[in-house]
Structure 1
Amino acid sequence: MTTSELNLSIPGITCSACAGRVERALTALPGVRDISVNPVTKRAHLSVAGASLPDIDAALRDAGYPAEWVTTKIQIEGMSCASCAGRIERGLTARPEVTDVKVNLVSNSATIRHPPDLSPQALADAVTALGYPARPAADTPARDRSDPHRDEAQALKRRFLIALALTLPVFLTEMGGHLFPVLHHWLYGTIGQQPLWLMQMVLTALVMAGPGRQFFTTGIPALLRGAPEMNSLVALGAGAAFLYSATVTLMPSLVPASSRFVYFEAAAVIVTLILMGRWLEARAKGQAGQAIRALIELAPDSATLLRDGEAVTVPVADLRPGDLLRLAPGERVAVDGIITEGSGSVDEAMLTGEPIPASKTVGDAVTGGTVNGSSALTYRVTATGADTTLSRIVQMVEEAQAGKLPVQALVDRVTRVFVPVVIGLALLTFALWMIFGPDLAHAVVAAVAVLIIACPCAMGLAVPVSIMVGTGRGAQLGILFRRGDGLQRLAEAQRIAFDKTGTLTLGRPELTSLWTDGMAEDQILRLTAAAEAQSEHPLANAILTAAADRGLDLPPASQVEAKPGRGLSAVVEGHDLLIGNAAALSEAGITLAPDLPDAQGVTPVHVALDGQHRATLALSDPIRPEAAATVAALHDLGLQVVMLSGDVQATAESVGQQIGIDQVQGGLLPDDKLKAVQEMGEGSVFVGDGINDAPALAAADTGIAIGTGTDIAIESADVVLMSGDPSAVPQAIRLSRAVMRNIRQNLFWAFAYNTALIPVAMGVLVPFGGPQLSPMLAAGAMALSSVFVVGNALRLRRAA
């Protein structure tokens, strides 16, 4: 067994004790030896013989010391089918330094996770050695990326047209003579059979050596390596037809008189039709990625920089955070920033899917790629390059498109053995026709038809092309799938839980009433607001706004201590304040006043001063206008809707009743929400926006984050709604179901096509008076099968 040396960077090592724990975790793995862990360099050196890198990765994570990995993307040429993608994936996975590989047939790329000391060029060289020229993907700004499918389609179009021009004379002189006997007699009487065959042989050889060269330069080496793929089938089929015909033409004595027929037109037409299919397929693949390219192209090339009071036009690539930019009416925002002067509206449809422009004023954020309205604005740059929202969206969608759905595992297992099985069936067909058929010619035709009719391309494209179009469509609608498998899980949703504040409500609570006991309203509000000034809770903002509206001056607060899920305590002007819910006061041994007003539909915030309950503030958070329609739409989709809220049960139930929620749970801490989501079981979905929602978002089968929420919530989610509008939730579910339905259609077509037509090509209908399939018809059917799959996926551009 081969032994490999591996060096891993483990940032979590801080001392020799850490190094010892890492060493013990690695020692426990079979196939790992000669382990050396250096606590100074934070690196581990080990010899690997039999252990896999994913096992090593898992062992380190379980020990609490995950290794440092980097992700490299490489562009690959020459992939034509699922067999190609599978061979590359297996070849890279076999390398001991690689922990994860995702090969995308649609984008002609591979995403590889590996240690930092393995260079991207080494990975590209490894793929090139497998017979597929590769190079590290250029780390260029998003808008500078070219469309590989457009270039591929143009090259394939040229090759197809050249092949067509060379094939037409071969096809017309051979098949025209069969269709029109007069033409046949004229050609053979004027030119002669042997010159005609020689002309057909030369033109067919030019087709195969010129535009069809790739089938042979890629397919034959793959066959010799024992890893045949789609190009191998074409090379074998077209090559067999050509060699047989050339033998009949040049050395007829080697072939029985009854089998002296030529099939140059079949070899030429096979190559030409498959080139046509690949051209159409490349065009369709390009359309599949249109949505994400449209986003990339939104960023302008230049911006107006204010430098020493002068307006200067500079390339966007030269901008840096802190630069001050002027934005003219109707101009696109160059990069992310904060408005410093002016107010107006900005069209953010590209970001959120919302058609109504958003109002902006000083202090508000603007996003690169959005369109300014009719007012001139000035803004300060906060992010450039890969750090902008637009770039992160593009990266997020590309990562989702590179992912694999669980359903892809079945396809991978089939395509791994598909081409070798087809070659075996072609040999069996040849043998059976030689035994039971009329002559050698019929045996060759049947075997060639079997090789050509088989199409692993359609199988390989069935899943990734639907993911690409579906995630691109989602980006247009402001629905970002952060992980490809999130599409499948969301489509299988059964129960969906919402956080309340900021998700089903506006997240901007307002003070509606104030009850006090023995103190003036302004005095208690002044003290409470002073303590809440150091809190980031949404309810604190409502209290501070109410104090500001009354013009109250706030004294300084000290010893402010937040109590998650309860409230906070502080000292203000010598008084001990405890602000929070009933549980907070109860835990402090403070009894609520008996004559409190009814708290139905509001959130009560109790205030205790020096150990006595002195006030209760009634806060309410307006329900989003679209919340009720969202819940109704989810019911129409067959989902049960639950609301999980940290608010008191009475307030949560009041909101739930107004919008039609099936089940309401209030008074929940973050851990309670996590437990509630876990109890929902399979098919659970959670929608939230706050830091306290992150555990539940991560625990759900599918986590959906409101894009206007916190970064932590977004990072924990599988799907991000950029608009912050909950009505995008049923839209996301409809889109995911449409994608999965499209994938099932594609897989049915791909498998049914091969299951039905390979036996026909073998000749099972001939004993019953049916036809023997022509290799030319087989080539046309095979070429169109991939085009059909991609074309079906393109229907998703109008989904949801």
Structure 2
Amino acid sequence: MTNTVRTKPGSDADRSASPGLTSIDLDVQGMTCASCATRIQKKLNRVDGVQAAVNYATNRAHVLAPHGTTSASLIDVVRAAGYDASLPDPNQDAEAVARAHARGIERRFVFSACIAVPVMLVSMITPLQFPGWQWAALVLTTPVLFWGGWGFHRSAWVNLRHGAFTMDTLISVGTLAAYLWSVYCLVLGSAGTIGMKHPFSLHLMRADSLDAVYFEAACGTITFILLGRWIEARSRSEAGSALRELLKMGAKLVHILDEDGTETTKPIEALQVGQRFVVRPGEKVASDGDVVEGNSAIDAHVITGESVPVEVGPGDHVVGATLNTNGRLVVRATAVGADTQLSQMAHLVEQAQTGKSNAQRLADRIAAVFVPIVIALALAAFGAWLAAGAGAGFAITAGVSVLIISCPCALGLATPTALLAGTGRGAQLGVVIRGPEVLERARAIDTVVMDKTGTITTGEMSVQRVVPAADESGDAVLANAAALEAGSEHPIAEALVAKASEQGRVPEASDFRVVPGRGVRALLDGREGLAGNAALMADRGMRIPSRLADAAETASGQGATVVFVAWAHAVRGVIAVSDELAANSESAVERFHELGLRTVMLTGDNERAANFVAARVGIDEVHAQVLPEQKLSVVDGLRGEGHRVAMVGDGVNDAAALAAADLGIAMGTGTDAAIAAGDLTLMRHDLMLAVDAVALSRSTLRTIRGNLFWAFFYNVCAIPIAAFGLLNPMIAGAAMAFSSVFVVTNSLRLRGFRPTR
């Protein structure tokens, strides 16, 4: 696989291939909410030439910077914003860090809950109150506010020093206001008298100027928000578990085979490209490589999602982290470390998780100005209630409730948690999704264009029939065809060479040249030889004998591809070559139709052969005898008609069409060029996986949009309710925490996505 990722207009995809830019990833510490990520991203993007995406859910910043930009300078920018950053530590256990973070929040929550529960009970249930209970509430609330809620206050202060407001500012200001007002009432007033003067109260509000204490609101709010943050931290850790499991699948040790045949067991980091290593039965393949000795069955489900082991032998390629089931193999390493297919796959998934959808960009812009607006609304509510004569206690309660319930953490979690779960699930199934912009394009497509050979069919061609001219032998026709095609990598050429090799030695040809869309030419014993379609013969002015034309027509009608063979200025024979339909092609086309998609097939084959295959699988539209450059024209033509087009392909000649399509789906078993051009990469040859990719993309985007709708709807409804004095700050804190937990747990449903079969 290649590390290059193409970028479409408006894409947040990895643009590391852009001229003059280098990619730098940073682990960011100290973020507590979405506005923190937005602030850091703004600071980084103010650096000349820098393009940054900061992800709150992964605590990661992905930066594209001009060559010469150092990570140290970027870290300084993050620190200047009031946070900290460092280069990712490859030896650091991300899962352990996530668990430690969750445990830290859990400790604060448990401590706060043990204190907050009795404070809330005694404050809200009159029979439980005793003389001086307010002073006891003050003593108990103080450690909850200043130790349990220390993270909120510290974050608010750090950002305030830098002239910024965050979600933690709302929590800190709200709880401190409730606490300080209560202390003021307790010291200077007759605190404790419960009043219900406001006609719209929900029996949770008090409205006497110096007769109300809100210790239970202060410590209850901190406790509920800590509960939400704890559940959120655990859920975010679960959402990213698929990627962590993917990264842990690689082998830790390797049995390196020295030149003298001695085996030495070393850490995987010691393996270098070109070295041979041994894979025993039951062991993981240490790294990507080619088998040089032995035969075995390889279980590759961790990479491709395919559960059936594949037989391999000398000359076959194997992928690191796959499982050797039964035989001993000697493998020569072709890629190590970050260049292995597993690492590249993990890299693509991780890059996808740092992206943002258009909807999330809107949410980020709103979050950036949201906090100052909320503070203004809280002050307005406070002033309005004072002016209305409701009393200072009630006015403070309304203002504090607005501050606390408005905290839009759910906005910041809506996209990244869904991406974590969706892309992680995709990786488990064998689908690599490049980013949220891909999900948005996947939702809009209405047409799927598919290459035939290697996509709808297996791409494994075999010779079905050889028909020689009247004065030639079939063996001679096949042998010369193989000689002419020996320099080609086309599946048809491979089939001809393989069949001819079974019957004897293949002659040598020279001056090999490809005639695009027609076939090949080369010199046989100094004379020009041709192997290709009828158009190639016509271009050279050669007449096809009726015997051969009839045989070709019969074979084409049966879905075979025909190759005419000519030398010495005459057509000497025709060979029928065909490949089998891939196992799930017919079911996949049916599922595309169920998803409301029109199906189109592109092929260089003749029209009769193309229509035969299309009829078998149920394709709606066929474009036959298409040259590589014409595939791009067909895609552009469909888009010009107003269609949103997805292109599925696996070859070099599909790369341009994949790049031009609204959604490029590349078979991962194909070429690097196709994989680089695709938005979605399928890790095994299975057209049904393309259906799963589209369905998962749509499901992930639906989840993101549902999350964002809930987050916006929650705030739009909650702020007026709080401003009208209908919510106690403690209940507001619980509701705010619930909104974040809802978004995260809703995203986790994607981990249960099941492919349809």
* 1:706 corresponds to: 667
Q: Deviations over 1:503-550 (max 9, x none)?
A: 111111111122222222222222221121111111111111221122
> C-alpha distance in 2, partners of 1:567/1:402?
45
* 2:490 corresponds to: 537
For the pair 1:669 / 2:627, whether they are aligned, the reply is yes
> C-alpha distance in 2, partners of 1:749/1:722?
34
Note the C-alpha offset of 1:783: 0.9
> C-alpha distance in 2, partners of 1:721/1:525?
35
Q: Deviations over 1:449-489 (max 9, x none)?
A: 11011131101111111111101000000011123321221
* 1:638 corresponds to: 596
Note the C-alpha offset of 1:258: 4.3
**Structure 1 contact 349–355 (Cα < 8 Å) conserved:** yes
For the pair 1:244 / 2:170, whether they are aligned, the reply is no
* 2:459 corresponds to: 507
For the pair 1:621 / 2:617, whether they are aligned, the reply is no
**Structure 1 contact 97–118 (Cα < 8 Å) conserved:** no
> C-alpha distance in 2, partners of 1:483/1:448?
39
* 2:140 corresponds to: 203
The one-letter amino acid of 1:132's match is: Y
**Structure 2 contact 208–392 (Cα < 8 Å) conserved:** no
The one-letter amino acid of 2:351's match is: E
* 1:13 corresponds to: none
* 1:526 corresponds to: 479
**Structure 2 contact 255–266 (Cα < 8 Å) conserved:** yes
Q: 1:179 aligns with which of 125, 138, 145?
A: 125
Q: Report the secondary structure of 2:282's partner residue.
A: coil
* 2:85 corresponds to: 134
Q: Report the secondary structure of 1:570's partner residue.
A: strand
Q: Report the secondary structure of 2:664's partner residue.
A: strand
* 1:282 corresponds to: 233
**Structure 1 contact 147–286 (Cα < 8 Å) conserved:** no
* 1:371 corresponds to: 323
Note the C-alpha offset of 1:257: 7.6
**Given the superposition, is the C-alpha separation of residues 257 and 519 from structure 1 closer, same or farther in structure 2, using an over 3 Å criterion?**
closer
* 1:690 corresponds to: 651
**Given the superposition, is the C-alpha separation of residues 332 and 285 from structure 1 closer, same or farther in structure 2, using an over 3 Å criterion?**
same
Note the C-alpha offset of 1:131: 1.6
Note the C-alpha offset of 1:102: 0.8
Q: 1:153 aligns with which of 91, 102, 105?
A: 102
> C-alpha distance in 2, partners of 1:781/1:340?
62
The one-letter amino acid of 2:664's match is: G
* 1:391 corresponds to: 343
For the pair 1:426 / 2:378, whether they are aligned, the reply is yes
Note the C-alpha offset of 1:592: 2.5
* 2:290 corresponds to: 338
> C-alpha distance in 1, partners of 2:296/2:581?
26
**Structure 2 contact 189–210 (Cα < 8 Å) conserved:** no
* 1:570 corresponds to: 522
Q: 1:77 aligns with which of 9, 25, 29?
A: 29
1:758-797 equivalences under 5 Å are 758-763=719-724, 772-797=726-751
* 1:438 corresponds to: 390
Q: 1:104 aligns with which of 49, 55, 70?
A: 55
Q: 2:539 aligns with which of 556, 581, 587?
A: 587
The one-letter amino acid of 1:672's match is: Q
Note the C-alpha offset of 1:381: 2.1
Q: 1:606 aligns with which of 558, 564, 586?
A: 564
Note the C-alpha offset of 1:146: 4.7
**Structure 1 contact 437–443 (Cα < 8 Å) conserved:** no
Q: Deviations over 1:116-168 (max 9, x none)?
A: 21211211221121122222223x26x85555432221111122223234434
Note the C-alpha offset of 1:704: 0.5
**Given the superposition, is the C-alpha separation of residues 437 and 788 from structure 1 closer, same or farther in structure 2, using an over 3 Å criterion?**
farther
> C-alpha distance in 1, partners of 2:300/2:18?
39
The one-letter amino acid of 2:502's match is: D
Note the C-alpha offset of 1:253: 9.7
Note the C-alpha offset of 1:388: 1.1
The one-letter amino acid of 1:149's match is: A
Note the C-alpha offset of 1:587: 2.0
> C-alpha distance in 2, partners of 1:685/1:779?
45
Give identity over the alignment, percent.
40
* 1:24 corresponds to: none
Q: Deviations over 1:747-787 (max 9, x none)?
A: 12111111111111112xx6xxxxx2110011111111101
Q: 1:495 aligns with which of 447, 452, 459?
A: 447
* 2:71 corresponds to: 120
Note the C-alpha offset of 1:437: 4.2
The one-letter amino acid of 1:786's match is: S
> C-alpha distance in 1, partners of 2:94/2:167?
29
**Given the superposition, is the C-alpha separation of residues 374 and 257 from structure 1 closer, same or farther in structure 2, using an over 3 Å criterion?**
closer
Normalized against structure 2, the TM-score is what?
Answer: 0.91
The one-letter amino acid of 1:327's match is: V
> C-alpha distance in 2, partners of 1:630/1:409?
34
Note the C-alpha offset of 1:588: 2.2
* 1:43 corresponds to: none
Note the C-alpha offset of 1:97: 3.6
> C-alpha distance in 1, partners of 2:530/2:546?
18
Q: Supply the RMSD in Å over aligned alpha carbons.
A: 2.2
> C-alpha distance in 2, partners of 1:66/1:328?
42
> C-alpha distance in 2, partners of 1:654/1:367?
36
Note the C-alpha offset of 1:290: 1.1
**Structure 1 contact 300–316 (Cα < 8 Å) conserved:** yes
* 2:502 corresponds to: 549
The one-letter amino acid of 1:237's match is: G
**Structure 1 contact 555–573 (Cα < 8 Å) conserved:** no
> C-alpha distance in 2, partners of 1:144/1:153?
14
> C-alpha distance in 1, partners of 2:67/2:94?
24
Q: Report the secondary structure of 1:503's partner residue.
A: helix
> C-alpha distance in 1, partners of 2:48/2:336?
37
**Structure 2 contact 33–56 (Cα < 8 Å) conserved:** yes
* 2:149 corresponds to: 212
* 1:52 corresponds to: none
Q: Report the secondary structure of 2:507's partner residue.
A: coil
- Structure 1: where are the runs of 5+ without partners? 1-54, 56-60, 767-771
> C-alpha distance in 2, partners of 1:300/1:520?
54
* 1:23 corresponds to: none
**Structure 2 contact 191–210 (Cα < 8 Å) conserved:** no
Q: Report the secondary structure of 2:274's partner residue.
A: coil
The one-letter amino acid of 1:762's match is: A
* 1:745 corresponds to: 706
Q: Report the secondary structure of 1:150's partner residue.
A: helix
- Structure 2: where are the runs of 5+ without partners? 1-8, 10-14, 193-206
**Structure 2 contact 251–268 (Cα < 8 Å) conserved:** yes
* 2:166 corresponds to: 229
> C-alpha distance in 2, partners of 1:126/1:205?
35
Note the C-alpha offset of 1:448: 0.5
> C-alpha distance in 2, partners of 1:720/1:257?
64
> C-alpha distance in 2, partners of 1:224/1:180?
42
| Worse-superposed segment, 102-111 or 126-135 | 126-135
| Worse-superposed segment, 711-720 or 648-657 | 648-657
> C-alpha distance in 2, partners of 1:327/1:619?
37
For the pair 1:559 / 2:511, whether they are aligned, the reply is yes
Q: Report the secondary structure of 1:554's partner residue.
A: coil
**Given the superposition, is the C-alpha separation of residues 257 and 706 from structure 1 closer, same or farther in structure 2, using an over 3 Å criterion?**
closer
> C-alpha distance in 1, partners of 2:387/2:572?
102
For the pair 1:356 / 2:317, whether they are aligned, the reply is no
The one-letter amino acid of 1:655's match is: V
**Given the superposition, is the C-alpha separation of residues 288 and 437 from structure 1 closer, same or farther in structure 2, using an over 3 Å criterion?**
farther
**Structure 2 contact 220–730 (Cα < 8 Å) conserved:** yes
Q: Report the secondary structure of 1:222's partner residue.
A: helix
**Given the superposition, is the C-alpha separation of residues 408 and 66 from structure 1 closer, same or farther in structure 2, using an over 3 Å criterion?**
closer
Note the C-alpha offset of 1:500: 0.5
